[in-house]
Amino acid sequence: MPIEITFDGNKKVNALIDGFTVKTDQTLKSGGDNSAPTPFNLFLASLGTCAGIYVKSFCDQRGIDTSEVHIQMDYDYDPIRKMIAKLIMRIHVPLDFPEQYEAAVIKTASLCAVKRHLNDKIENEITIIRTHEK
């Protein structure tokens, strides 16, 4: 599947994938118009959404409602290497999420195909955060 990269003025660069256009831009500080996510932010989003589809599928297979489940992703940056040193994912689940599945859902999130294609020196930290009752 080829991906076509096009240029849409100033720092805007788009990817045409399977009939979809994925738009990117640079921040104002980097000379862009800040009209779309940066390519790096899309890269990070692809890591999070990939883990998310694995978590969603895990829950769906077990009949677990995901309306109150979400993933918060962050990272630690190594300024010397100028690269991400650690990905940090927190899987937020409701209080009634079955405890017996915590380790399994963490392992499932780590199976993300996007993450598996990265340099193995990047750590992948995934934790569970229980949401307080409202």
Domain ranges of the chain: 1-36, 39-131
d(CA 25, CA 39): 7
Model confidence, pTM: 0.83
Q: Which CATH number fits domain 39-131: 3.40.640.10, 3.30.300.20, 3.40.50.80, 3.40.50.10860?
A: 3.30.300.20
Per-residue pLDDT tens digits for 31-53: 999 999 999 999 999 999 999 99
Is residue 127 pLDDT above 90, yes or no? no
Average pLDDT, the chain: 92
Task: Look at residue 44 in the predicted model and tell me its pLDDT.
Answer: 94
Closest residue by Cα to residue 115 from 59, 73, 67: 73
Percent of the chain's residues with pLDDT above 70: 97
Strands (E), 1-134: 4-7, 13-17, 20-24, 70-78, 83-94, 123-131
Which residue reads 């409202």 in tokens?
A: 134
Q: How many CB atoms lie within 10 A of CB 80?
A: 6
